[in-house]
Chains A and B, each alone.
Chain A
C-alpha cells in the first residue's frame, strides 16, 4: 500500500531557530499534501494544503511566514517552522493524497508525525 515517510520523528530546537520537517510519498505521486498540527489529547487541526508547483493554501489563523511550506516535487513537501518559540511545540503530521479510483476517489496516507519541542 501507499507509504508516506515523515522525518524527523522527534526534534528539539532552541528558541529562535528554524526547523524543517520533510514529508515524502514513497511509492506514489502526491500532487496534494496536507499539514496538520495536533496538541496533546486534541484533534488534528489542518494548517495548510500544499499543491505541487504552487503556493500553499493556509487555514485562517495560521501564519504563513512562520510555517513555510514547499512542495517542489510530486513526492516531497516540507514544512519549515521559522524562528520557533516554545508555543510552536506540538505534534505535526503530514498527509498525502493519492488518486485510487475514478470519480475523484482519493486515498489519504499519513506520515508518522514529528514531535517538535522548542526550548
Chain B
C-alpha cells in the first residue's frame, strides 16, 4: 500500500519569507501523480500544485513550487513571498488509482 508522510505537524513563516513543507511517500509504482492541497478553516480542499511522476521538471504555480526527487520519493512544497492568506493546513497526496493523503502540516504566517 502506498503511504504518504509529512513529518512537520506545524510550520511557521514570516510574511514575505519563504517556507518549505516536506513530504515523502512510498510506492512500488513508476507512474503516478503527486499533489499538494490546501485546507483553510472552511475545510474546502483547494488544489495548490500537481506533479506528474514521469515529468522530471518540477511543477511551479506562481509563488508555489515543488522539489520532486523521484528516486528519493520526496515531494516538498516551497512557498515564496508568503502571504497571510497562505495560512492553512497543507496536505501532500499520492495518486495512482485513488488518492491518499499525508497527515498534514499546519502553516502559520506571522505578520
Interface residues of A (CB under 8 A from B): 34, 38, 42-46, 49, 91, 93, 95, 105-106, 108, 110, 112-113
Contact = CB atoms under 8 A, between A and B. Distances in A.
A75 B50 CA distance: 24
Contact of A108 (B42, B44, B99, B103): B99
Contacts of B101: 43-45
A3 to B, nearest CB: 12
Interface residues of B, number: 18
Contact of A93 (B45, B103, B104): B45
Nearest to B1: A60
Contact of B44 (A42, A44, A113): A113
Contacts of B45: 44, 93, 95, 110
B99 A91 contact: no
Contact of B43 (A43, A45, A105, A113): A113
A43 B103 contact: yes
A112 B98 contact: no
Contact of B52 (A49, A105, A112, A113): A105
Nearest to B99: A108
Nearest to B91: A43
14 contacts: A42-B103, A43-B91, A43-B104, A44-B91, A44-B101, A46-B98, A46-B99, A49-B98, A95-B99, A108-B35, A108-B99, A110-B44, A112-B42, A113-B43
